[in-house]
Amino acid sequence: MSKKNLDIIIIGFAIFATFFGAGNLIFPPYLGVLAGEKWYIAFAGFLVGDVVLSVLAVIVSCKYQTKGIGVLSRVGEKFSTIMGCIMLACIGPLMSIPRTGATTFEISILPLMPDANPIVFSVIFFAITLVLTVRPSKVVDNVGKFLTPALLIALAVLIIKGFLTPLGDARPDPYIDDLFATGLTQGYQTMDAFGGTIIAFLVMASIVGKGYLDKKEQISMIGKAGLVAGICLAVVYGGLCIVGTMVSMQYGADVEQTALVVAITGALLGNGGKVLLGIIIALACLTTAVGTTSAVAQFFAGVFNNKIKYEWLVIGFCVFSAIISNFGVNTIIQFSGPILSVIYPIVVAMILLSIFTEKIQNDNVFRFAAYMALLVSILTLAGVPVMQKLPLASFGLNWLIPVIVAAIVGFFVPSKKKEAVKEGGL
């Protein structure tokens, strides 16, 4: 195998592992319970809402030559910087990074060691994160070469055991009616597209660090690495979903998702299942912590023109995350969740428009769409009744039609900036 192809596989593995957190492990089996024999319909929706959108976010983000969040750049420099900082702060040290430590402790450590000290664990967890993250050019290699294979092996043990010794028959009648729509909604609501725009920093740093400087070659490699990541995600999600169908006669729609995964693992592997589940959760969370910490640190280093060194940002984020993680998963989500729910529709809208960024000459298409998404999101969060009457509101997509209308209006409003954004690296 050529060095280039090997690098693509390693980068693809790193993208997969950064996306695959503890939450991604929990939902597919539950989707299998809900859908039963018709799991493939709901799963197709989940693939579109999560995998396709997330991988697409990585690819289109890498088209832009900018220090900020690339998909936001055509809205305007100030908007991109402000929204980017809020978004990265929430998904980084305020939410996602500390949540990885808290989740690992609550699911992997406490069931096996009930008397474990959360403070001691958080120090150990983020010390490991720091060691694996402090050298930006090595982050992808650390994740792609070592952590991801270990994670995939652990997942393969669980899934293959489920196939070899099925726990039961799939329920013939699903618990839900709109199978595809439910899968699409759940995939969308994972907010993994956020991760795609952030992982782009990590991916580009790795590609440049490996000596690939030609822009077209970079984009080609990113596309292929994204395909590797997408296939891995689809196979793992699909396997977990099918395993879930095998207990769809035993559990109902009201089953708690984390308890379902614990029960399935225990039924398949006995007491050893707790250990395996703990390993899977720990590896999933660690890979996400490493990838996200590195990407967020690179973003803020760029915002501050490297006046604050990447290494110091990594240290600061790890220390801060170790402290915040001790507040617990639920507290962390309650704090940052509403902010992310406001920004996420903007990011998704910009990702979709960025597919055609070379064709769209008028920046007002992006500006009008972004501000409409922001307005609808704020009004939805504020509980304005009319927002729930908009089309697709039941799927969490009430912003979509207004954004399309706003983008069309923006197309007919002349923009001061005539040049289209050129392709390039981050």
- Reply yes or no on whether the pLDDT at 129 is more than 70: yes
Structural domains in the chain, sorted by start = 3-335 (1.20.1740.10)
Q: Tokens 């000596």 appear where?
A: 211
pTM attached to this predicted model: 0.82
- pLDDT classification of 419: cutoffs 50, 70, 90: very low
289-305 pLDDT tens trace: 888 898 889 888 888 88
Residue 422: per-residue pLDDT: 43
> Which DSSP letter does residue 325 get?
G
Average pLDDT, the chain: 86
Whether the CB-CB separation of 297 and 42 falls below 8 Å is answered with no
> Residue 329 — pLDDT band, cuts 50, 70, 90?
low
- Tell me the DSSP string of 342-387: HHHHHHHHHHHHHTTTTT---THHHHHHHHHHHHHHHHHHTT-GGG
Q: Give the mean model confidence (pLDDT) for residues 53-82.
A: 82
Distance, in Å, from the CA atom of 175 to the CA atom of 172, rounded to the nearest integer, reads 10
Higher pLDDT, 165 or 257: 165
- Which DSSP string do the residues of 161-228 spell out, in sequence order? HHHHS--SPPPSS-S-S-HHHHHHHHHHHT-HHHHHHHHHHHHHHHHHHTT---HHHHHHHHHHHHHH
- pLDDT score at 125: 94
What pLDDT, in 10s, does the model give residues 75-106? 988 888 888 888 888 778 888 888 888 888 88
What's the burial of 341, exposed, middle or buried (CB within 10 Å: 0-12/13-18/19+)?
Answer: middle
- Cα torsion 239, 240, 244, 246 to 10°: value is 30
Quick check: 231 pLDDT over 90? yes
Q: Give the whole-angstrom CA distance, residue 65 versus residue 388.
A: 38
Phi and psi based region of residue 300 (left: phi greater than 0; alpha: psi -120 to 50; beta: remaining): alpha
3-state secondary structure 279-300: HHHHHHHHHHHHHHHHHHHHHH
Q: What is the pLDDT, as a whole number, of residue 204?
A: 83
Mean pLDDT of all residues in 44-72: 84
pLDDT above 70 for 192: yes
